[in-house]
Amino acid sequence: MTNSSILSFPSSSHAVINGSFYRDPVYSLWSTVYANNSNLTTSGPFPYPNASTPFVASVSEFYNIVGEDATLQLIAHADYAAFHEAGVYVPSTNEVYFTSNKLNTTNTTEYKFPTYIQFNKISLTPSTNGTYEWTTVFPPSDEFFMPNGGTPYDGKVLMAVQGYGLDVPSSLVLVDPATGAGNTVVNSFYGRVFNSINDVTVLSSDEAVAQQWVFFTDPPYGYFQGFKPYPSLPAQVYAFHPPTGTIRVVADGFERPNGVQFSEDFKTCYVTDTGFISAVAGDPHPDDGRRPGTIYAYDVVTPPPGSDPKLYPPTLTNRRVFAFTDSGMPDGIKVDTEGNVYAGCFDGVHVRMEQAWRTAREDPSWSG
């Protein structure tokens, strides 16, 4: 199978580089440069791909994922960081809900705090002129401040909300796309405030809501970015059962737990650790290649059918490295029906098979 939009770049192409070289781990493989007498040059061993090849394959199996005629289409753009997290598709309206990155404002009339995040949506139904319209959604509740990741849940959009200071606790808020209303489903771990909930997913989403568990990550990014108090909980992954309010910690040992997703059969849970970026103000090394930019895999242990969720919650075991990204860190992740894991990295979207092979980078022109 051939595809003119895919650049074949097998691992053998970069296993050995002749001469001295260096690469800043923030940037892509193509930014590798030669070194001369410990000084960096402006030339490197790898020609930068052009716009006609937005896909890069490390193994031939990637061609089976994208097919013979893969293309990349830009459907929206902005002059600020409007498209950052979530990406929750709502079939009933053919819309995708997403959040911006952290934004600053001096407008104290319209905004309660100097820092905010937009909650946006885009219609996937093109207008009469062929464009795709996106709009900012009015905050669905008073507790809906600094939203980040999200997931479908019970026909609605469940959002991870980081909150602000002690005034707005971090929480999970369920948003009804039909009415725009939001309802907080959890904001407390036995009276202790969450750090800044980052991402959320649902275990066994094809079962009845009464049997579904919500998993979410809680890194301390809000504190390090200056809009949340000092953390009162470790950086952990939680499992929450909305019908009963049961909550438990299912994984720890992270620097910055971030994206979280399940495999198609719900037997494996993937969690990213984005400790690569410290997000600490004044850190002389905010991007540190010694820190993790890793996707971990866990086995999902579920209770026997019919078990009382208050007594037998699910848990995660057998932590192992699924993949380490060479470019920055893997932020949000998604999993397709064939078990391929898609991670938003610094140089585009990395696609990895269950065997943890790096199979592709989509649009390498996004990185330096």
- CATH number, domain of 298, equals 2.120.10.30
Burial of 152 (0-12, 13-18, 19+ CB in 10 A): middle
Asked if residue 44 belongs to a domain, the reply is: no
Cα(160)–Cα(135) distance, integer angstroms? 20
Q: Do residues 173 and 234 share a domain? A: no
Asked if residue 49 belongs to a domain, the reply is: no
Helices (H), the chain: 62-66, 221-224
Q: Do residues 78 and 174 share a domain? A: yes
pLDDT tens for the chain, 368 residues long, are 566 788 888 888 889 999 999 999 999 899 999 999 889 999 999 988 887 888 888 888 888 888 878 888 889 999 999 999 999 999 999 999 999 999 998 887 778 899 999 999 999 999 888 889 999 998 888 889 999 999 999 999 999 999 999 999 999 999 999 999 999 999 999 999 999 999 999 998 667 888 899 999 999 999 999 999 999 999 999 999 999 999 999 999 999 999 999 999 999 999 999 988 877 767 777 788 888 899 999 999 998 877 888 888 999 999 999 999 888 889 999 999 989 999 998 888 999 876 644 555 555 444 43
Q: Do residues 200 and 309 share a domain? A: yes
Angle at 247 between CA 243 and CA 249, to 5 degrees: 150
Q: What is the pLDDT of residue 96?
A: 97
Q: Check: CB of residue 26 under 8 Å from CB of residue 74.
A: no
Cα(257)–Cα(220) distance, integer angstroms? 9
Q: Do residues 201 and 327 share a domain? A: yes
Q: What is the pLDDT of residue 367?
A: 41
Asked if residue 130 belongs to a domain, the reply is: yes
Cα(97)–Cα(122) distance, integer angstroms? 7
Task: Provide the number of structural domains found in the chain.
Answer: 2
Strands (E), 232-293: 236-241, 246-251, 257-262, 268-273
3-class secondary-structure state, position 341:
strand
Q: Do residues 177 and 315 share a domain? A: no
Q: 122, 152, 187: which is the final residue of a domain?
A: 187
The CA distances from residue 46 to 21, 25, 34, 300, in Å, are: 11, 15, 10, 41
Q: What is the pLDDT of residue 115?
A: 92
Q: Are strands 199-203 and 171-175 parallel, antiparallel or unpaired?
A: unpaired
Angle at 309 between CA 305 and CA 312, to 5 degrees: 80
Nearest of 136, 116, 109, 121 to residue 222 by alpha carbon? 116
Which residues contact residue 85 at a Cβ distance below 8 angstroms, ignoring those fewer than 6 apart?
Answer: 98, 99, 101, 147, 148, 149, 150, 199, 331, 332
Asked if residue 269 belongs to a domain, the reply is: yes
Asked if residue 343 belongs to a domain, the reply is: no
Residue 246 bridge partners (DSSP):
241
Q: Do residues 210 and 138 share a domain? A: no
Q: Do residues 167 and 228 share a domain? A: no
Asked if residue 222 belongs to a domain, the reply is: yes
Which residues contact residue 90 at a Cβ distance below 8 angstroms, ignoring those fewer than 6 apart?
Answer: 96, 97, 152, 157, 177
Q: What is the pLDDT of residue 38?
A: 85
Look-up of token digits 């275990």: 203
Q: Check: CB of residue 124 under 8 Å from CB of residue 94.
A: yes
Q: 187, 221, 245: which is the final residue of a domain?
A: 187
Q: Check: CB of residue 233 under 8 Å from CB of residue 222.
A: no
Q: Do residues 193 and 243 share a domain? A: yes
Nearest of 195, 183, 125 to residue 158 by alpha carbon? 183
Q: Do residues 203 and 85 share a domain? A: no
Q: 172, 187, 202: which is the final residue of a domain?
A: 187
Look-up of token digits 């990213």: 272
Which residues contact residue 352 at a Cβ distance below 8 angstroms, ignoring those fewer than 6 apart?
Answer: 295, 322, 323, 340, 341, 343, 358, 359
Q: What is the pLDDT of residue 364?
A: 46
Q: Do residues 132 and 222 share a domain? A: no
Q: Do residues 177 and 205 share a domain? A: no
User: In the sheet that 39-40 helps form, which strands lie side by side, from edge to edge?
Assistant: 21-22, 33-36, 39-40
Q: What is the pLDDT of residue 360?
A: 54
Instruction: Give me Rg for the CA atoms of the chain.
Output: 21
Q: Are strands 171-175 and 156-161 parallel, antiparallel or unpaired?
A: antiparallel
Structural domain harbouring 165:
73-187
Asked if residue 63 belongs to a domain, the reply is: no
Asked if residue 225 belongs to a domain, the reply is: yes
Q: Do residues 136 and 246 share a domain? A: no
